[in-house]
A and B are shown apart, each in its own frame.
Chain A
Amino acid sequence: MSLNVIDAGMLSKMFLAGAKNLDNKKEWINELNVFPVPDGDTGTNMSMTVMSAAKEVAALENPDMVSLAKAMSSGSLRGARGNSGVILSQLFRGFTKVIREYDELNVPILAAACDKAVETAYKAVMKPKEGTILTVAKGAAKRANDLAAAGEKDLEIFIKEIIKEAEAVLAKTPDMLPVLKQAGVVDSGGQGLVEVLKGGFDIFLGKELDLSIDASPKAPVKKEGLAPNIEAQANAEIKFCYCTQFLIMLNKPFNIKHEMDFKEYLSSIGDSIVVVADDDIVKVHVHTNDPGLAMQKALLYGELTTIIIENMRLERDEKVSDMMEKQMQSTQMPVKTAENTPVQEHKETGFIAVSIGEGMNEIFRSLGVDYIIEGGQTMNPSTEDMLNAIEQINADNIFIFPNNKNIILAANQAKQLTKDKNIIVIPTKTVPQGITAIINYVPDVSIDENEAVMTQEASNVATGQVTYAVRETVIDDKEIHQGDFMGIGDKGILSVGTDLQTVAFQMVAEMMKDDYELISIYYGDSVDEEQANSLVEKIRAEFNGCDVELQFGGQPIYSYIVSAE
Chain B
Amino acid sequence: MSKIAIVTDSNSGITQQQAKELGISVLPMPFMIDGETYYEEITLSQDEFYEKLKNNADISTSQPAPESVLAIWDELLKEYDEIVHIPMSSGLSGSCQTAVMLAQDYDGRVHVVNNQRISVTQRRSVTDALELAKAGKSGREIKEILEADKFNSSIYIMIDTLYYLKKGGRITPAAAALGTLLKLKPVLQIQGEKLDAFAKARTVNQAKTIMINAVKNDIEKRFGGISPDNQIYLAIAHTCNEDAANILKAELHEQLPDYPILYVDALSLSVSCHIGPGALAIACCKKLI
In-complex Cβ contact of A436 among B180, B202, B210 (8 A): B202
Q: A445-B213, A445-B217, A449-B213 are in contact. Are A440 and B181 (CB under 8 A)?
A: no
B247 located at the interface, meaning its Cβ lies under 8 Å from any Cβ of chain A in the complex: no
In-complex Cβ contact of B210 among A442, A517, A518 (8 A): A442
Residues of A within 8 A of B205 (CB): 517
Determine whether the beta carbon of A440 is less than 8 Å from that of B183.
Answer: no
The A-contacting residues of B in range 198-253, CB under 8 angstroms, are 198-206, 209-210, 213-214, 217
How many Å from the CB of B288 to the closest CB on chain A?
Answer: 25
B182 located at the interface, meaning its Cβ lies under 8 Å from any Cβ of chain A in the complex: yes
> How many chain B residues touch A (Cβ–Cβ < 8 Å)?
20
CA–CA, A549 and B203, complex, Å: 12
A271 located at the interface, meaning its Cβ lies under 8 Å from any Cβ of chain B in the complex: no
Chain B residue, CB-CB nearest to A432: B202
Residues of A within 8 A of B182 (CB): 363, 366-367, 435, 439, 520, 549, 551
CA–CA, A520 and B206, complex, Å: 15
Determine whether the beta carbon of B217 is less than 8 Å from that of A440.
Answer: no
B184 located at the interface, meaning its Cβ lies under 8 Å from any Cβ of chain A in the complex: yes
CA–CA, A551 and B209, complex, Å: 25
CA–CA, A363 and B180, complex, Å: 8
A253 located at the interface, meaning its Cβ lies under 8 Å from any Cβ of chain B in the complex: no
Q: A441-B199, A549-B182 are in contact. Are A457 and B213 (CB under 8 A)?
A: no
CA–CA, A517 and B181, complex, Å: 19
CA–CA, A78 and B180, complex, Å: 35
Per-position 1/0 for A418-444, Cβ under 8 A of B: 000000000000000001100111111
Q: A435-B182, A551-B181 are in contact. Are A449 and B217 (CB under 8 A)?
A: yes
Chain B residue, CB-CB nearest to A516: B203
CA–CA, A489 and B217, complex, Å: 36
Determine whether the beta carbon of A444 is less than 8 Å from that of B198.
Answer: yes
Determine whether the beta carbon of B198 is less than 8 Å from that of A440.
Answer: no
Residue in B177, B181, B184, B209 whose Cβ sees the most chain A Cβ within 10 Å? B181
The B-contacting residues of A in range 85-130, CB under 8 angstroms, are none
The B-contacting residues of A in range 437-460, CB under 8 angstroms, are 439-445, 449, 453, 457
Residues of A within 8 A of B214 (CB): 442, 444-445
Determine whether the beta carbon of B180 is less than 8 Å from that of A547.
Answer: no
CA–CA, A20 and B203, complex, Å: 50
In-complex Cβ contact of A440 among B177, B180, B201, B204 (8 A): B201
CA–CA, A367 and B184, complex, Å: 11
Determine whether the beta carbon of B181 is less than 8 Å from that of A457.
Answer: no
Residues of B within 8 A of A385 (CB): none
Chain A residue, CB-CB nearest to B218: A444
A525 located at the interface, meaning its Cβ lies under 8 Å from any Cβ of chain B in the complex: no
A195 located at the interface, meaning its Cβ lies under 8 Å from any Cβ of chain B in the complex: no
Chain A residue, CB-CB nearest to B180: A366
CA–CA, A401 and B203, complex, Å: 20
How many Å from the CB of B108 to the closest CB on chain A?
Answer: 40
Residue in B182, B183, B184, B204 whose Cβ sees the most chain A Cβ within 10 Å? B182
Chain B residue, CB-CB nearest to A563: B202
In-complex Cβ contact of B203 among A445, A449, A565 (8 A): A565
CA–CA, A443 and B205, complex, Å: 19
Chain A residue, CB-CB nearest to B191: A444
CA–CA, A368 and B179, complex, Å: 12
CA–CA, A440 and B205, complex, Å: 11
Residues of B within 8 A of A551 (CB): 181-182
Q: A436-B202, A547-B183 are in contact. Are A457 and B209 (CB under 8 A)?
A: yes
Q: A547-B183, A551-B182 are in contact. Are A436 and B199 (CB under 8 A)?
A: no
CA–CA, A551 and B183, complex, Å: 10
Chain A residue, CB-CB nearest to B174: A443
Determine whether the beta carbon of A366 is less than 8 Å from that of B206.
Answer: no
In-complex Cβ contact of A457 among B184, B198, B206, B217 (8 A): B206
Residues of B within 8 A of A439 (CB): 182, 184, 200-202, 206
Residues of A within 8 A of B206 (CB): 436, 439-440, 457, 565
A315 located at the interface, meaning its Cβ lies under 8 Å from any Cβ of chain B in the complex: no
A362 located at the interface, meaning its Cβ lies under 8 Å from any Cβ of chain B in the complex: yes
Q: A443-B199, A444-B198 are in contact. Are A363 and B209 (CB under 8 A)?
A: no
How many Å from the CB of B25 to the closest CB on chain A?
Answer: 37
How many Å from the CB of A361 to the closest CB on chain B?
Answer: 11
The B-contacting residues of A in range 352-400, CB under 8 angstroms, are 362-363, 366-368
How many Å from the CB of A353 to the closest CB on chain B?
Answer: 14
How many Å from the CB of A491 to the closest CB on chain B?
Answer: 21
Residues of A within 8 A of B180 (CB): 363, 366-367
CA–CA, A439 and B185, complex, Å: 10
Residues of A within 8 A of B213 (CB): 442, 445, 449, 453
Chain A residue, CB-CB nearest to B210: A442
How many Å from the CB of A435 to the closest CB on chain B?
Answer: 7
Per-position 1/0 for A447-478, Cβ under 8 A of B: 00100010001000000000000000000000
Known: A363-B182, A453-B210, A565-B206. 18 other contacts (CB 8 A): A362-B181, A366-B182, A368-B177, A435-B202, A436-B206, A439-B202, A440-B206, A440-B210, A444-B199, A444-B217, A445-B214, A449-B217, A457-B209, A517-B203, A517-B204, A517-B205, A551-B182, A565-B203
24 residue pairs bridging A and B, Cβ less than 8 Å apart: A362-B181, A363-B181, A366-B182, A367-B180, A435-B182, A435-B202, A436-B202, A436-B206, A439-B182, A440-B201, A440-B202, A443-B199, A444-B198, A444-B199, A444-B214, A445-B213, A449-B213, A449-B217, A457-B206, A518-B202, A549-B182, A551-B182, A565-B202, A565-B206
A residues at B contact (CB < 8 Å): 362-363, 366-368, 435-436, 439-445, 449, 453, 457, 517-518, 520, 547, 549, 551, 565
B residues at A contact (CB < 8 Å): 177, 180-184, 198-206, 209-210, 213-214, 217
Kindly list the 8 A-B residue pairs having the minimum CB-CB distance in the complex, ordered from nearest.
A366-B180, A442-B199, A517-B203, A366-B181, A518-B203, A439-B202, A436-B202, A363-B181
